[in-house]
Structure 1
Amino acid sequence: MRPAGAVIGVVLALLLSAPVQADQAKAIFATGCFWCTESDFEKLEGVVEVVSGYTGGDLENPTYEQVGIGGTGHTEAVEIVFDPAKVSYEKLLEHFWRTHDPFNGEGQFCDRGAHYRPGIFYLDDAQKQAALASREATQKLFDRKIVTEITAATRFWPAEDYHQDYYKRNSLRYRYYRHGCGRDALIQTIWESAQMPERTP
């Protein structure tokens, strides 16, 4: 029998998980700090909602402190609700590759540890095949091996309320953190090194 707290945690996770209507779909990605991932994806047209949280681990209803200490197996991630009529899953994948360091599986930018590892957590076989194809296409642009994981999604646990929309509610601190981590500068350097195919006239 589960402790009452664990049961409540499961119920809360189900209630807080981003709702999906018949004409919407979900995606789960991790690109390091979920404040940044949330900010990056909410800018896309067709994205309805982005929820920061934790996935990829075994502990039920994990807290920020537990995930940060390590040992739960979780990584900071986001659950995205999107309108496929306005933005495809493939388009989300393109954006995903351009918003993280795919060569570092031990963390991202100034954040280190398995709980900051990047990943694509597919929800069905179609997403799996699209994710694998996108990684293969992206790998062809670089000499270094991409280590971003692609795994089946497990339960997604929404993070504490103060983490949601952090980049909006604490904009100055967020911008200082993002700039200080060198996130955008490193991403720019990575893509400047990409061997982009030549376009035919």
Structure 2
Amino acid sequence: MTNIKKATFAGGCFWCMVKPFDQWDGVKRVLSGYTGGHVENPTYDDVKKGTTGHYEAVEITYDESVISYETIVHIFWQQIDPTDNYGQFHDRGDSYRTAIFYHDDSQKQVAIESKQDLVRSGKFTKPIVTKILAASPFYPAEEEHQNFYLKSKATYEEDRKKSGRDAFLQKMWAND
């Protein structure tokens, strides 16, 4: 039996979702891509048009003997605004909505419980709208979008800053 598993999350712009996971021991790979839609092999331009139904997402390959799914889900919540149903920060539209895509019943249960814990925490005054959905085919994004934070550091940092993501995350999670 292998300890290598997959976890899939949509948290707005996939550029901003790679680095937070890529930094952890046990995470083998974080792949930017598209999932949850009805078009096979979509391109970045297809998804940006908003007609494919896909989310921009990351697929994380991890070793569960080193890092748990629970930890990965906790990291996910601390990267997003789970109350925004219309995108994330300055990225607007259906492809930028948030979701946890579970790969088995165990992941589904962890996702549901973590969402309930977040609701009970009272951290957010608006409803938590992040969806929990069964994983569907994941299509890797074009190479230029992979590991963007490493390839285009200045653009990545500038985009994060002007998006408002970092300020929001600092405000919401500084004490956790």
Task: Using structure 2 for the length normalisation, give the TM-score.
Answer: 0.95
- Mark the structure with the bigger radius of gyration: 1
Higher normalized contact order (CA 8 Å, seq sep 6+, divided by chain length): 2
- What residue in structure 1 maps to residue 45 of structure 2? 65
Letter in 2 for 1:54: Y
Identity of aligned residues (%): 47
Aligned residue among 109, 113, 128 for 2:89: 109
Residue number among 96, 118, 121 corresponding to 1:138 in the alignment:
118
Letter aligned with residue 160 of structure 1: E
TM-score (norm 1): 0.83
Deviations 1:125-179 (A, max 9, x none): 1110110000000111223210001000110000001100111010011101111
Question: For 1:11-160, what aligned pairs fall within 5 Å after superposition?
Answer: 22-142=2-122, 143-160=125-142
Aligned-partner SS, 1:128: helix
Look up the match of 2:167.
185
SS in 2 for 1:140: helix
Aligned residue pairs, count: 174
CA RMSD of superposed structures (Å): 1.5
Stretches of structure 2 lacking an aligned partner (at least 5 in a row):
none
The structure with the greater share of residues assigned to strand is 2
* 1:45 shift after superposition: 1.7
1:77 Cα offset (Å): 0.2
Q: Which residue of 2 aligns with 1:10?
A: none
Give distance in 2, aligned partners of 1:190 and 1:144. 13
Task: In structure 1, list runs of 5 or more residues that go unmatched.
Answer: 1-20, 197-201
